[in-house]
Amino acid sequence: MADAALWIMVIVLAAVIFVLMQLLKRVLKAATSIPAKIDAIAGVAAAASKDLDAVAVLLTTQGYIKSIRASVLDYGGSLDAALPDY
């Protein structure tokens, strides 16, 4: 009976080792795929940062629009008098 129990333990141990090796192989495969994904994310981040360079231009444009709007509003009454109504 002790011989049978020993053989069952050896078979179970072999199965556990096999499953463990398969799991470790999958973990290694997933871990080695990470650098490629990081490089892809870095490329997208670099392109996004170039898009953000235009924000400074938008801020100056916003200031110009505010000053032009104020100038147009200042002349609003004069334009009503100068342009005929149709």
The residues near 53 (Cβ < 8 Å, ≥ 6 apart) are: none
3-12, 41-50, 53-62: range with highest mean pLDDT: 3-12
Place of tokens 């997208």: 44
- 22: tokens are 């398969």
The pLDDT of residue 12 is above 80: yes
Average pLDDT, the chain: 82
Handedness of CA 66, 71, 77, 79 (dihedral sign): negative
The pLDDT of residue 25 is above 90: yes
Where are the domains positioned within the chain? 1-52, 54-86
- Separation between Cα atoms, residue 63 and residue 66, nearest integer Å: 5
